[in-house]
Amino acid sequence: MADQIQWFPGHMAKARREASEKLNLVDVVIELVDARIPESSRNPIIPEIIKQKPKVLVLNKADMADEKQTKLWLAYYKAQGETALAIDAQHNKGLNQLEKACKDLMAPYFEKQKEKGVKPRPIRVMILGIPNVGKSTLINRFVGKNQAITGNKPGVTKAQRWLKMGKVFELLDTPGILWPKFDDPDVGKKLALTGAIKDQLLHMDDLALYLLKVYTNRYPQLLIEKLKLNSDQIAHSESLVDLLLHITQKMGLKDDYDQASIRLVNEYRKANLGLVTLDLVPSEEIS
């Protein structure tokens, strides 16, 4: 289970400090986000922390996102000059591509070092992101791939373990954890729907209604397929609340829409309601 700490200002300052300290030790940062909410799962202060450090933006959990939207997001980030790619850490997909991206980013630096006669050394990498985006899973995949732990680096006061990944990489074994930002109510809902923040922070029926808004606007076919609704029921529901009540009855829960909301949200989290991306690239955003 991902860390579900309460982010008070003191925690944020500490997380920021720790991330900055770790950053000093590495060559490349892997910024991990959830492919279903690539923007909402980004901590906005990351650029401030990272500054000019080479970075790969990684959309994890691509297996749960809408493939078409993931492609649009990658094109969008590319247009912004970012190095971005999609992976599925849980099933070991895209890891080679990620290693290659880090290598490519560092190639000019190592080339220069070589010209100066400096012997090549492993590329030092760290993973940074908000809770639940899959940081530990990704580290474990890399460990599983090349199990080897190197010693502490001289001059580093805190014990930092480095995991050797082949001959080319060394990965810092503790990820940098940043807080999610949810001043915008929709961002809060998206974070809760993907499990990045605690359920208790929001009402389940609000989350269910938000899901129904997304599905009726963009994925009505999935409501038909997955919840066995017919298109008339979707079209003729006077409101999303009406639709939720209808689904509640269909689930055999009479008027217990709280229970139906919990079920809907849980099914979305398990990707049992289809592969749905909640964040849209700016040009595709619906009102």
Interaction between residue 270 and ligand G4P (CB under 6 A): no
**Which of residues 132 and 277 has its CB atom nearest to ligand G4P in the complex?**
132
CA distance 287 to 280: 11
Taking the complex as a whole, the smallest distance from the CB of residue 64 to ligand G4P amounts, in Å, to 5
Q: What is the DSSP letter of 145?
A: H
Angle at 281 between CA 278 and CA 282, to 5 degrees: 115
With beta carbons less than 8 A apart as the criterion, state whether 171 and 126 touch: yes
With beta carbons less than 8 A apart as the criterion, state whether 196 and 147 touch: no
**Which of residues 140 and 216 has its CB atom nearest to ligand G4P in the complex?**
140
**Which of residues 83 and 90 has its CB atom nearest to ligand G4P in the complex?**
90
Interaction between residue 90 and ligand G4P (CB under 6 A): yes
One-character DSSP codes across 147-195: --EE-PPTT--S---EEEETTTEEEESS-EE------SHHHHHHHHHTT
Interaction between residue 1 and ligand G4P (CB under 6 A): yes
Taking the complex as a whole, the smallest distance from the CB of residue 107 to ligand G4P amounts, in Å, to 27
Query: Segment near ligand G4P (CB under 6 A), from 36-44, 72-80, 126-134, 224-232?
Result: 126-134
Which of residues 22, 36, 42, 61 is near ligand G4P by CB under 6 A?
Answer: 61
Burial (0-12, 13-18, 19+ Cβ within 10 Å), 98: buried
Site string for ligand G4P, 218-247 (x = CB under 6 A): ------------------------------
Query: Segment near ligand G4P (CB under 6 A), from 125-133, 153-161, 233-241, 259-267?
Result: 125-133
What is the sign, positive or negative, of the torsion defined by CA atoms of 86, 77, 283, 41? positive
Angle at 33 between CA 27 and CA 34, to 5 degrees: 155
The residue nearest ligand G4P at its CB is 134
What is the sign, positive or negative, of the torsion defined by CA atoms of 152, 156, 160, 163? negative
**What six digits make up the tokens of 9?**
């200002």
Taking the complex as a whole, the smallest distance from the CB of residue 199 to ligand G4P amounts, in Å, to 12
| DSSP-derived pairing of the beta strands 55-60 and 149-150 | unpaired
Q: List the end-to-end C-alpha distance of the chain, in Å, as a whole number.
A: 34
Query: Segment near ligand G4P (CB under 6 A), from 8-16, 45-53, 59-67, 239-247?
Result: 59-67
Which of residues 40, 41, 43, 60 is near ligand G4P by CB under 6 A?
Answer: 60
Size of the site for ligand G4P (CB under 6 A): 19
Taking the complex as a whole, the smallest distance from the CB of residue 109 to ligand G4P amounts, in Å, to 28
Interface residue list for ligand G4P (CB under 6 A): 1-3, 60-61, 63-64, 88-90, 129, 131-137, 195
